[in-house]
Amino acid sequence: MSVSKVIKQKNYEKVIFILHRHPFTFIPTLLLFIVLMLIPVALYFMLNSLFPQLFIDITSNTLLILFASVYYLSTYLFFYGRFIDFYLDMWIVTNDRIVDIEQHSLFHREITELDLYRIQDATASVKGFFATIFQFGNVDIKTASSNTKIIFQNIHNPNHVREQLIKLADEDRKYHMKDIALDGN
């Protein structure tokens, strides 16, 4: 996906990072999906061995097929919603700003922008065994404003991203201080 389709880039703006959640963080959802898909199969074999007459009667067989179809459709819809949430969450870091795009559900998206010079602190946190092994974690960005809160969730190599954000924020702050000094004269 092209960045120009997601944000309107300024002519002097260069994309530094396009961040997504680490793929390892989707594995629990994938395992849950597999287990949910296997439940009707196990239920079929259990019911077939305990109550074989259920599958002989046309009415009960039709009802079981209907319930199984609704169950599978609901499971697919649940998985699709979780996948969309995982896949479409992204953070775009440029040399001027951060664009936080969060997909909360199928029809709910929030986009937040933060100028780099407003960043006061960035904190990287890696919690847990798998996060340490696979090097993913969160980067919490703090500003003076209490309105804007951006957290890069479960991104790859959060310490590197934090260091680069602090460097970019310092460079952008120097650039904006020159403009403020020129406007003051």
Q: Which domain holds residue 49?
A: 14-185
Q: Is residue 1 part of a domain?
A: no
Q: Is residue 6 part of a domain?
A: no
Vertex 60: Cα angle to 57 and 62 (nearest 5): 100
Tens digits of pLDDT across the chain (185 residues)? 567 677 888 888 899 999 999 999 999 999 999 999 999 999 999 998 998 888 888 898 899 999 999 999 999 999 999 999 999 999 999 999 999 999 988 889 999 999 999 999 999 999 999 999 999 999 999 988 767 789 999 999 999 999 999 999 999 988 877 665 555 55
State which H helix or E strand residue 91 sits in: strand 90-94
CATH label of the domain that carries residue 23: 2.30.29.30
The tally of domains found in the chain comes to 1
- Nearest Cα residue to 124 out of 184, 166, 87, 84: 166
Q: Is residue 8 part of a domain?
A: no
Q: Is residue 172 part of a domain?
A: yes
**Using CA atoms, how far apart are residues 164 and 139, in angstroms rounded to an integer?**
12
DSSP one-letter string for 36-73: HHHHHHHHHHHHHHH-THHHHSHHHHHHHHHHHHHHHH
Q: Is residue 177 part of a domain?
A: yes
Q: Is residue 7 part of a domain?
A: no
Q: Is residue 106 part of a domain?
A: yes
- The token pair that represents 42 in the structure block: 């196990």
Specify the amino acid at residue 94.
Answer: T
Dihedral angle of Cα 159, 143, 85, 36, to the nearest 10 degrees = 70
Q: Is residue 50 part of a domain?
A: yes
